[in-house]
Amino acid sequence: MKQQLATWFDCESDAGSAQKATCLSVSWITCDLNNNFKIIEDLSGTLNSRFKNSRPFEVDAMLAHNIPIKNIENQKLSNGELIDEWDKAFKNLSDKNTIFVGYNNQNYDNLLLQNSLFINLKFPYITSKQQFDLLPAIRASSVFAPNALKYELNAKGNLSFKLQAMLRANGLTTEKAHDSYHDTLSTLKLGKLLNDKAPDVFSAALELRRKADVLPKIKKEDIFCWHEAYFKTKIYCGTCLGESIFPGWYYLYDLRKNPEEILSLDIQGLKEALSRSKKWIRTLKSNRAPIIMKKEMYELDEEYRALGMTEIKKRYNLLKKYKEELANKVRLIQEESYNEKKEFNQTDQHPEEKIYSLNITNEERNLMNQFNLNNSAKERKNIFNRFKNDDLKKLAEMKVFDNYKKEELEKKFCEIFSLRDYKRVKKRVAKLILDTSDTPSPFTKIPTQLARIDTLRVIAEKNEDDEKMKQLDELNKYLEDMMNDYEKVS
């Protein structure tokens, strides 16, 4: 049987927001899905890095993974060097036709990788060729194969889908929680268990790992089922209505809603119907490896079972005649709403926030590659001077600023740029990380984190948790030292 590689990966970082975070540790383990998930050792690895000079950490993220600050500061790789190695390794794996898999990676690890590559002047979408997220597959199994896996209940009495809870419930051991290597290995083990216990769900998760395969699938199936998860995981049964206002996103129609109530409405009536809380137009994103199940799965949901397939098909047949017309009306309404929001939100973005809006020419992409590959200070300066885009210049300066240890930073930075440039960049960082306002920012703010430490200290003192107090003191010292350094230039 032909080999099918899957690369499972996990990151530990210093912030809960992928846009603000620095990846401190990343691990990946590659296996052959067609050979009982056999691990291929030479396609696995772990990278660790130091903090960035420009980025404070979020206290809760540091407490979660509990990596000592001293260990992070003593790493050989700067964060930029970690990103270089990560980029190289994952490009190699992508060329080998691997499938990239993580646990909640669509909402975090993929975003962290993409943003890290972008701000380091690299092409950000390495994992987009084929990928899926194990978390939605685990959630899907809870409704489409409800007895396949075991689950813990959270404090609200709902099923808990956290990785460590799933491992405990299903008797899968891990040596260390919130560690990139052990979380990667645990995700692989959980994926294998899902494949063994709920093969139809696992196959469905794999089937649409390529964006190009999504539209043919949902067009081919007249009626199909899918799941969505917010507070609880819920089955939907419906059909594809058409393309949305965003490329690669599609409107799905929930056949709980009788089309007779919708098709007679004018635009204003349709707008009001769309605004109501029980949404009957759903959005499917082709870049999220959606899990599409057979229409027969409708019987697992009480509401659809009460309707019965005869009524569901009747609704589908009525809707089928007016799909294009209804999709056009929905697009008009949502485009109007989107443009209003876009017009309202006119705040200027920092370069670090422009991963989706920065238009980069082929010439500039080539210059970015040269800047990354060239180690000569003189050549890097020449390449930098050829950038026409001011945002790219700022990102290039930040890349250099974050690439050296504190004791050599000024000297190394000034080998490429001037002392005046160094002071300007440091002043920009100071303004962002010492900010006391509520203004959104791609940088974690030190005052907010020091306030968080004060809150956690009160709790730790009340609980007589000396170990937590020691951790908080260490985190507090690092942030105060950083603040004192940047206050000198602010």
Confidence of residue 343 (pLDDT cuts 50, 70, 90): low
Cα–Cα distance between 478 and 483 in angstroms, integer?
9
The pLDDT assigned to 337 comes to: 86
Q: What count of other Cβ atoms lies within 10 Å of the Cβ of residue 194?
A: 23
Task: Return the pLDDT at 351.
Answer: 96
Query: Quick one: CA torsion of 112, 118, 119, 121, rounded to 10 degrees?
Result: 140
| CA–CA gap between residue 92 and residue 42 (Å, rounded) | 12
Instruction: Give the model's pLDDT for residue 307.
Output: 97
According to DSSP, the residues that pair with 100 across neighbouring strands are 7, 131
Q: What is the SS3 assignment for 232?
A: coil
Calculate mean pLDDT across residues 110-121. 98
pLDDT tens per residue across span 51-61: 999 999 999 99
Q: Compute the average pLDDT of residues 458-484.
A: 97
* % of the chain with per-residue pLDDT over 70: 99
Measured in whole angstroms, the distance separating CA 60 from the mean position of its chain's CA atoms is: 18
First to last CA, the chain: 62
Residue 299 to residue 27: CA distance in whole angstroms: 40
User: With 80 as the cut, is the pLDDT of residue 344 above it?
Assistant: no
Q: In the predicted model, is pLDDT for residue 387 greater than 70? A: yes
The answer to whether 210 and 248 are in contact (CB under 8 A) is: no
* pLDDT, mean of residues 147-162: 95
pLDDT of residue 126: 96
pLDDT in tens, 31-48: 999 999 999 999 999 999
> Can you tell me the mean pLDDT for 18-24?
96
Whether residue 470 has pLDDT greater than 80: yes
336, 339, 341, 344 alpha-carbon torsion, rounded to 10° = -130
Tokens of 118: 């972008």
> Strand, helix or coil at 26?
strand
- pLDDT, average across residues 440-465: 97
Q: In this predicted structure, which of 115-124, 234-243, 334-343, 443-452 has the lowest mean pLDDT?
A: 334-343
